[in-house]
Chains A and B, each alone.
Chain A
Amino acid sequence: DQQVKQNSPSLSVQEGRISILNCDYTNSMFDYFLWYKKYPAEGPTFLISISSIKDKNEDGRFTVFLNKSAKHLSLHIVPSQPGDSAVYFCAASANSGNTPLVFGKGTRLSVIA
């Protein structure tokens, strides 16, 4: 059951450059999408979200893009900082966020100074 897929297990980026993390989903009932960041020995920390009525949401250095026709979303981090090094999870929910989250496997981002 792979309703939410993050096909890149890891990504390395130079400090100051753009990090692009990708996520695909298969369930067309999903209408709310979230990105979480996770450091070792901590729980997932909410980063940014987007509802299906939008195609872009921005918060500081973080922007999430949603392409509903392709069932694809991406998280852009600009500029990347060493403190951004973590595992990033894509998650999706239906019914405006009122159903349980379905997570991807995560992408480990390493930002190299």
Chain B
Amino acid sequence: EPEVTQTPSHQVTQMGQEVILRCVPISNHLYFYWYRQILGQKVEFLVSFYNNEISEKSEIFDDQFSVERPDGSNFTLKIRSTKLEDSAMYFCASMIEDYGGYSNQPQHFGDGTRLSIL
């Protein structure tokens, strides 16, 4: 069964450094998402991406964050200058095409990247 793959599984970075988290969504999916889960808290939405642009973003997704689909298969999340509070599990998700606005399709998640900021 096709799956979303994320690399690395664990990233340790010094505070203030840039980090790039990588995702390969399911190949025929066209909607892409990043979520994060801080330890002990809910999974929370960061950003959605469709047709090569951000379609929606949360308050968490500030100027330190950016997303890119550089080559038609990868989907990346960049944090420019990491802070201690960025430590979390970051999940990538993808969803198949929306059929005329009545999709009701599930998002499929990768296994996440554990980001630890020291």
Seen from chain A, the residues whose Cβ lies within 8 Å of a Cβ on chain B are 32, 34, 36, 41-46, 49, 51, 89, 91, 95-106
Contact = CB atoms under 8 A, between A and B. Distances in A.
Interface residues of B, number: 27
Nearest 5 A/B pairs, CB to CB: A100-B45, A43-B109, A103-B43, A46-B106, A43-B111
Interface of B: 4, 6, 33, 35, 41-45, 48, 56, 58, 91, 95, 98, 101-112
Nearest to A104: B42
Contacts of A96: 101-104
A44 B103 contact: no
B45 to A, nearest CB: 4
A44 B48 contact: no
A46 B107 CA distance: 8
Nearest to A99: B56
A43 B4 contact: yes
B91 A44 contact: yes
Given A43-B4, A96-B101, A101 B110 contact: no
B95 to A, nearest CB: 8
